[in-house]
Each structure stands twice: as structure tokens, then as C-alpha cells.
Structure 1
Amino acid sequence: MICFSLYSAARATTQVYRRLLAPWSLTYPQYLVLAVLWTEGDQTIGSLGEAMQLDSGTLSPLVRRLERDGLVTKTRDADDERVVRVRLTDAGTALRAEIAPIHKKVAEIAGVGDLQHRELIAELREITARLHES
């Protein structure tokens, strides 16, 4: 069944990330928040939630822990106090050089080369989009 294979692959991926991120005391979801900020820049909680496909109730504790650890800051938008903006601190930006390449290590462990990597990502995005449309 496709569902079991996707579930198993996701769990195995999470376990590898957990092991590789342990030296920095980061969880896989925290790493994903940082990755979005590294690639997309400052985000609102709403746009970050969209990128990660998480609701604010799940995302807010992740961001709070990253803020506590000095990797991000949260500020209220000057034009709309209901909007919370998240941005990297200098420490969060500096961490990129150390841990951003972990995704390449995971691909290597999984035996996924560069071409296969791009094809796999495209296929998974298509599957995700079709499932969201249903």
C-alpha cells in the first residue's frame, strides 16, 4: 500500500534527522522552521504555517523554543498587531553553515543521487498537491 510506504519513509527520515540534529539539540520540525527562514527570509506565523503545512497551535511552540534558544525573534507587525513576524537572529543565521547541509547527508544515507533527488521531490510535490485537492 502506498500509504504504508509513505508513512514508513517519513518515519525513517524523521529518525535519521533526529540522530543527525541531536548535537544541536534541535528537533526535525525546528530544523524545518529554520530551513524555511534560511531560504525564504522573515516570515509571519501564518506564512510559516503554510510553508510547513502546520496550524499555529502546532507551530507556535516550535517557534517559542527556537526563540528561547536565541535562534529566532518574534515581533508584532507595526501595521497589524495580530500578525506575528518571525526572523532569524545572528545565531540562527550562523547556524545555517553548520546544519543546513544535513539534508544532503540524509539523501546520501537514503541512496538518492542529485538527479533522482530532483525527480523524487517533484513526484512527492505532485502527490501532495493531488491529495490536497481531493
Structure 2
Amino acid sequence: MDYLKLENQACFPVYALSRVLTAHYKPILDGIDLTYPQYLVMLVLWEHQQLSVKEIGEKLLLDSGTLTPLLKKLEGKKLIARIRSKEDERVVNISLTKIGASLKEKAISVPESFKCSLGLTLEEMGSLRDSINIILERTKKNNQ
């Protein structure tokens, strides 16, 4: 087997699929005025209401250099508030504003719209997610 052929690379289909999936989200997320990375931040905050920048980064596997501009944009849209911790000024906590919390209602249809745009069944989506999560967990363990 020629390991240097593109068709033999495991990473390329994952990379290509990531781009395709993100492109499928774009028209759906345009309806709620969010980019895909902003949507991920909002998902985490809708689930937890308030987290530190570090905690959001850990959940989304993003460093603060990537996360900070996203948070500034969301703050500019009045969806989140950034509040420096009184106990430790190095810690910045992120919480939803009323506008950010209410956006969740508009976002309810996003997962179904996304699934339909791909033509996948619920079972296929779950299988894809589970397979990817297995690989992510293994790579996390190997990097610790």
C-alpha cells in the first residue's frame, strides 16, 4: 500500500467532512446570525448558563487565542457578558444575557435542519458522532 497517496490517508476524509459539515451549517445558522464556532460556544452556555473562558475552551478544545475573538463578537451581539472574577482577576466568566438565553428558542430547529440538509437518519447521525467521539477520547488519553 502506498501510504503517501491521498486516498490512503485517514485524516483527509475527516478534514474534508469537517469542511462539508460546517458548510451545511452556514445557511441554517445565518438564520440566527451565528457562525459555526459561535454556535458551539452558545451550545455550551445554553447547557451550563455560566462558565469561565478556560472551561469553555476545554469543552470545545479551543485555546484562549481562538476563543477570545469569538467571545468578543458574541458580547458585541449582546448574547453574552464577560465578567472578571472577584476572587481571581485572571479568570473571566462568561454568562448568557437575556438575549442570548432567548436565542435558544430560535436555535431549537438547527439540529433537525442540519440532519435533513445532509439526508441522514437519526441513527446515522448518532453512529457518526459516536465513532468520532471514540477517536477523540483515544487521542485525549494519548496526549495526557
Please confirm whether the aligned pair reaches a TM-score higher than 0.5, indicating the same fold.
yes
Supply the distance in 2 between the matched residues of 1:81 and 1:5 (Cα, whole angstroms): 43
5 Å matches for 1:47-86?
A: 47-86=55-94
Structure 1: 4+ residue segments shifted above 6 A? none
Supply the distance in 2 between the matched residues of 1:40 and 1:100 (Cα, whole angstroms): 16
Supply the distance in 2 between the matched residues of 1:54 and 1:28 (Cα, whole angstroms): 13
Question: Higher Cα Rg: structure 1 or 2?
Answer: 2
Tell me the number of residue pairs that the alignment of Structure 1 and Structure 2 aligns.
134
The C-alpha deviation readout for 1:59-85, integer Å capped at 9, x for no partner, is 011001100110000101121111100
Give identity over the alignment, percent: 34
Aligned to 1:26: 34
What stretches of structure 2 of length at least 5 have no aligned partner? Answer: 1-8
The C-alpha deviation readout for 1:65-116, integer Å capped at 9, x for no partner, is 1001100001011211111000110100110110243122112222222222
**What's the TM-score, normalizing by structure 2?**
0.86
More displaced, 92-101 or 115-124? 115-124
Supply the distance in 2 between the matched residues of 1:128 and 1:77 (Cα, whole angstroms): 31
**What's the TM-score, normalizing by structure 1?**
0.92
Aligned to 2:102: 94
What stretches of structure 1 of length at least 5 have no aligned partner? Answer: none
Supply the distance in 2 between the matched residues of 1:74 and 1:5 (Cα, whole angstroms): 37
CA RMSD of aligned residues (A): 1.4
